[in-house]
Chain A
């Protein structure tokens, strides 16, 4: 019993520590990347190459005064950022960082919430994401934040549909819900140079999921709900110091969780390249650490892709955004599903 508790704590600390620890780094990469693209320098005063700038930001958020506007609904005003953070952390429980490995005499499953419905649980938990935003809009009780919250939620909700069609298509191709089986299915090569990743099996579903990630985590070009030039920073308008930082963290962790799902389904999960299956099926600890490192490398590439897209694509107008979600992506998702089903049916 005692050893089990230790294992649970270690797993939670590792799986929570990775995104939260990497958060200042990601913010720093975002600001330096943006600066790099706009031919300016970006923060480089605090510490070597400005690496301590995010820590300074976090300290600033800690020490700023908690402004509590009077016209605000107290319960929802303080509950909304906490809900946003908790809901953003929930999908991380079902995502494994490595294959089940042998350590201390028994196989350890590296995810907190071991179930053979891994993908579906992670996706269901990310469906709750629009709750923090709605309550924030309702809690801060002014027209701009309510309108921003409604817009952000309507956008997240309508892109979740096309996201779920692509998830269903991928589950159909791998015919399993378990993440480990899915990653194991992506081993091996076609004509020994194209790796057997989900991306090459289902390019359309991959594109849909990628667009869905941007829309779901309110990143540019879909960040109309909180765009400064649109409606004055949308739902987190009335929030000041730490509560605003919580929203910020929730958005980044939500983005990391969705991009890990994307990597697991389309880019071979925690195996760097599909050459690793030569080792016996009992994976010792060092190989597992190597897998964790490869997953972190892939997530870093995804984060850089986010930053790259953020400073290249302009922002959508709201009706174009909703039209894209309902009239363009959803039929593509349904058609992709029908085509895969028919293809698999007639192939055997």
Chain B
């Protein structure tokens, strides 16, 4: 069971790397989802090691929050794509128009 702690930390950091490193918005959202799953795994491990059952419930709520986040994030990406025909972070640097 102790290897899963390292796995959770690794997933979180890999997601962090992905969000910084990736170019287009959908991949950034994918890596954010990876970070969320790392956190969820950590919650379950803590609920197992401390015996506090509320941590597993927190996993359900993190899933709900990640579902809402993905829903709204992808809607924004769609709206951005319809307006600017691109989802690459380099082309969306101008705030004004």
Physical contact A–B (CB less than 8 Å): no
